[in-house]
């Protein structure tokens, strides 16, 4: 039995997220069906995480077992030939039998893209969150420091997944403004459910002047979800990389 | 009678270009229908140019006449409320009666975006041209110099529009590489039919080493369309700005 690791890019606009569900189309189902067409075997992919409806990925990872003799080089093109244009296998890797794309994951990096201008947007609208009111990026950068490091992020977690602990370590939180695009990169050893979108929502409230940068500290300490405020929409979110 | 100038952004993916045609949906028809819903008047927009199927715009311009008393500030939101998400009116301007968005245009700037990597692409795929083979960007920059200035661009024109002369003046041709994205900005006093896409096609052939940078000079002088080679696909093309 071979264990194949997949590196996947997808446009999540038209899918109900990664994980297979009844009555809605998901990315997992599309790729499993494509692999089954190639290998003739019933296939189940172990994904590195769930992603929500409308969230994108440039570096999603998963793995599956197969008896197929197709070389790892040929697998990529073969699976892609059975996939729609909004899902692409970037690479297939031959990995040891014990490799597990979720358990072996040591961290992840996401990006979140805000278009910060008054006018609405047509080009690229599915990949950005359009925020009309001009944000104070310096205040957002100041606030980002309070997220860095190890904290109990209970205030930045929605219900929906069972996890043993809400303690996570954020290793990177960069906010880069380029003309009217604000790009936020956030890396951690793991993320709670909706954590990135709730953190970005709080940063946006700082940028609007509704809360002060140093209030982030108190919101974290409160462990109360309500204090963190609204999360931002899924389209701006992209899973950039899964670390092993 | 008032004359209203429109500044328009659109995602051309799902349209048969700007200009109204029978049996296919166009951007012009969508906006004219939206305006008619607001003003109750039969409306015809004079566009600054045609754009092809799949080509995008961040700064398209047009103008239309109306007897409506709606303020120019309220027009933008009113028209947008009747438009699909892939077409956005960025601004409406009150202009003198004699203003004509095509005749008064003094130039245009387009961008063309190439994703230059081996792997296929899902995120943003409608806005880029994916080119697998790594291009020599320095050679492309060298070649771009030969396009600058005033030339007869007959070799870089497809049949399909009647123009008095094929002489145009290119005032800007910048090629900027950022990681695996190559962005080309090209401005001129006017463009012939498919001119940008044929020029970029020739630059790609230079980047592949199939023609030398200085051969561009001979291709221009030849005035033969066949010598310029294949044009690149429409998705990478975006009308950035129309000058007046």
The burial of A162, by beta-carbon neighbours within 10 Å (0-12 exposed, 13-18 middle, 19 or more buried), is given as: exposed
pLDDT cut 70: percent of chain B above it: 100
Angle at A176 between CA A111 and CA B122, to 5 degrees: 35
Name every chain B residue with its beta carbon within 8 A of the beta carbon of A90: 119-120
The Cα A52–Cα B203 span in angstroms is 40
Q: How confident is the model at residue B142 (pLDDT cuts 50, 70, 90)?
A: very high
Q: How confident is the model at residue B159 (pLDDT cuts 50, 70, 90)?
A: confident
Q: What is the mean pLDDT of chain B?
A: 97
**Can you give the pLDDT at residue A5?**
98
Pick the catalytic residue: A52, A152, A174, A189?
A52
> Which residues neighbour A217 within 8 Å (Cβ) at sequence distance 6 or greater?
A146
Question: Is A159's pLDDT higher than 90?
Answer: no
> Which residues neighbour B23 within 8 Å (Cβ) at sequence distance 6 or greater?
none
The yes/no answer on whether domain B2-95 falls in CATH 3.30.70.580 is yes
**Can you give the pLDDT at residue A163?**
83
For B192-205, the pLDDT digits (tens) are 999 999 999 999 99
Inform me whether the C-beta atom of residue B87 falls under 8 Å from chain A C-beta atoms.
yes
B136 catalytic per annotation: no
Q: Which chain B residue has the Cα nearest residue A11?
A: B123
Q: What is the mean pLDDT of chain A?
A: 97
For B80-139, the pLDDT digits (tens) are 999 999 999 999 999 999 999 999 999 999 999 999 999 999 999 999 999 999 999 999
CB spacing of B121 vs A238 below 8 angstroms: no
For B203-233, the pLDDT digits (tens) are 999 999 999 999 999 999 999 999 999 999 9
What is the interface size between A and B, counted as CB pairs within 8 Å? Answer: 63
**Can you give the pLDDT at residue B49?**
93
The Cα A183–Cα A111 span in angstroms is 7
For B47-57, the pLDDT digits (tens) are 999 999 999 99
Asked whether the domain spanning A107-243 has the same topology as the one spanning A2-95, the reply is yes
**Can you give the pLDDT at residue B162?**
75
What is the C-alpha end-to-end distance of chain B, expressed in Å?
22
Hey, where are the domains in chain A?
2-95, 107-243
Q: Is the ipTM of this complex over 0.95?
A: no
Q: What is the CATH number of domain B107-243?
A: 3.30.70.660
Closest CB to B127 among A90, A119, A123: A123
Q: How confident is the model at residue A158 (pLDDT cuts 50, 70, 90)?
A: very high
For A46-55, the pLDDT digits (tens) are 999 999 999 9
């Amino acid at each position: 039995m071979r264990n194949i690791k997949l590196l996947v890019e997808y446009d999540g606009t038209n899918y109900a997220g990664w994980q297979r569900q009844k009555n809605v189309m998901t990315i997992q189902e599309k790729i499993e069906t494509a692999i089954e067409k190639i290998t003739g075997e019933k296939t189940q992919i172990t994904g590195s995480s769930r992603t929500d409806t409308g969230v994108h990925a440039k570096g999603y990872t998963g793995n599956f077992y197969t008896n197929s003799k197709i070389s790892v080089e040929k697998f990529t093109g073969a699976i892609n030939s059975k996939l729609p244009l909004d899902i692409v296998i970037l690479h297939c890797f031959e990995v040891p039998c014990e490799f597990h794309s979720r358990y072996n994951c040591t961290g992840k990096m996401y990006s979140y893209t805000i278009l910060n201008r008054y006018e609405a947007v047509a080009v690229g609208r599915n990949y950005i969150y359009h925020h009309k009111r001009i944000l104070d990026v310096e205040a957002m950068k100041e606030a980002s420091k309070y997220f860095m490091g190890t904290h109990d992020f209970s205030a930045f977690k929605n219900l929906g997944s069972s996890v043993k602990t809400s303690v996570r370590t954020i290793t990177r939180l960069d906010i880069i403004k380029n003309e009217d695009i604000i790009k936020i990169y956030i890396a951690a050893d793991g993320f709670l459910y909706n954590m990135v979108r709730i953190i970005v929502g709080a940063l946006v409230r700082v940028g609007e002047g509704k809360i002060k940068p140093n209030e982030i500290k108190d919101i974290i300490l409160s462990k109360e979800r309500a204090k963190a405020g609204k999360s931002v929409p899924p389209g701006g979110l992209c899973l950039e990389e899964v670390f092993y």
